[in-house]
Amino acid sequence: MPTTTVDKVMAEHRAASFTKRSIKADAKLAGLRLAASMVDLTTLEGKDSPEKVRGLCRKAVCPGDGRVDCPPVAAVCVYPSLVAVARKELDKYPGNTVKIAAVATGFPSGQYPIGVRLEDTRRAVEAGADEIDMVISRGAFLAGDHRRVHEEIIRTVEACGPAHLKVILETGELETLDNVRAASDLAIDALSRSGAVGGFIKTSTGKVEPAATMPVTLVMLEAIRDHYLATGEVIGMKPAGGIRTAKQALHYLVMLKETLGVVDPRFMTPQWFRFGASALLNDLLRQMDWLARGKYAARYDFGEA
């Protein structure tokens, strides 16, 4: 697979330029609502409990709780052991559109034997997961064993069955933008060759710093764009970790629009773009409430993040 060299200075300059766009009030409200609809509302803590996941699901279905007109989020993201709890709760809502994403494959390290990771994936899907967020073997990738990483992605696609796969690169451990581009190209190629439907690439687990950054996300978006222009295949994108404010989310949407949205409007939908976040949704709700009432709600007014 040919490698693409990234100009770090230009990537950082281009990414910074997206933060300087002027957004009018009407467009801002539309952007906030779009961002909310793209959120994978996430809880990935050792202390996660069934009741916390049930509360997360209720918030995912009705984020504004009658106070703010806000669409449902795209998905809830939980550990595989709590998928069944989320499935039972979301099935209570007629016409529910919120998906269940599970972080399988030995999340967050990805250091488990491949058989264990694949079984983790199968069990999550059997429990009701619609999407699987897998982590690549970063050690293998950095050691140059790209074939192993490629094959593991393909095997995970097979284990997913009907569920969609998001491939987490853990960009904070990849060290350079050249590596980010190479890992993006490798993951996209594996998704394409496996015949995966609805596949994504994703920046981070949220457990490593730095997580999502705009230069890293831009490099990944450009890899998706180049693949689309060469093949016509759509691959999704999910920046995750560190995106906490509505202002940041709007910057990412501007970058998405100018990199992929101008190529194909499908990229500007929750089907193909997600924010992996926990704290972001509340700030989006506060900003929407401010546009509607002219005053800010307290951070706790919309419940726990």
Closest to 204 (Cα-Cα) out of 236, 259, 167:
167
Sign, Cα dihedral of 272, 278, 281, 283: negative
Choice between 34 and 278, residue whose per-residue pLDDT is larger: 34
pLDDT of residue 100: 98
pLDDT of residue 6: 95
Which residue type does 268 have?
A: M
Burial group, residue 263, by CB count within 10 angstroms (0-12, 13-18, 19+): middle
Which helix (H) or strand (E) segment is 96 a member of?
none
pLDDT of residue 143: 97
Q: Among the listed ranges 133-137, 189-193, 283-287, 295-299, which one has the minimum average pLDDT value?
A: 295-299
The whole-angstrom separation of Cα 193 and Cα 15 is 30
pLDDT of residue 24: 86
The whole-angstrom separation of Cα 184 and Cα 194 is 15
How many Å separate Cα 72 from the centre of its chain?
Answer: 16
Across residues 264-273, what is the average pLDDT? 98
Query: Residue 304 — pLDDT band, cuts 50, 70, 90?
Result: low
Spans of all domains in the chain: 8-302
Closest to 196 (Cα-Cα) out of 227, 233, 141:
233
Tokens of 32: 């906030």
The whole-angstrom separation of Cα 254 and Cα 260 is 10
Residue pair 169/241 in contact (Cβ under 8 Å)? The answer is: no
The whole-angstrom separation of Cα 266 and Cα 235 is 10
**pLDDT tens digits for 92-137?**
999 999 999 999 999 999 999 999 999 999 999 999 999 999 999 9
pLDDT of residue 3: 76
Q: What is the mean pLDDT of the chain?
A: 94
The whole-angstrom separation of Cα 187 and Cα 136 is 9
* Secondary-structure class of domain 8-302 per CATH: alpha beta
- Separation in Å, CA 169 to CA 20, 70, 217: 28, 31, 11
Q: Residue 29 in 3-state DSSP?
A: helix
The whole-angstrom separation of Cα 146 and Cα 155 is 14
Residues in the chain: 305
CA angle, residues 225, 232, 218, in degrees to nearest 5: 10
The whole-angstrom separation of Cα 1 and Cα 85 is 42
**Which pTM value belongs to this model?**
0.95
Closest to 125 (Cα-Cα) out of 156, 154, 160:
160
pLDDT of residue 299: 65
Q: Among the listed ranges 22-26, 40-44, 77-81, 182-186, which one has the minimum average pLDDT value?
A: 22-26
The percent of residues above 90 in pLDDT, for the chain, comes to 87
Supply the residues annotated as catalytic: 133, 202, 238
Residue pair 109/48 in contact (Cβ under 8 Å)? The answer is: no
| Pairing mode of beta strands 275-277, 236-238 | unpaired
Across residues 189-206, what is the average pLDDT? 95
Which residue type does 210 have?
A: P
Residue pair 296/41 in contact (Cβ under 8 Å)? The answer is: no
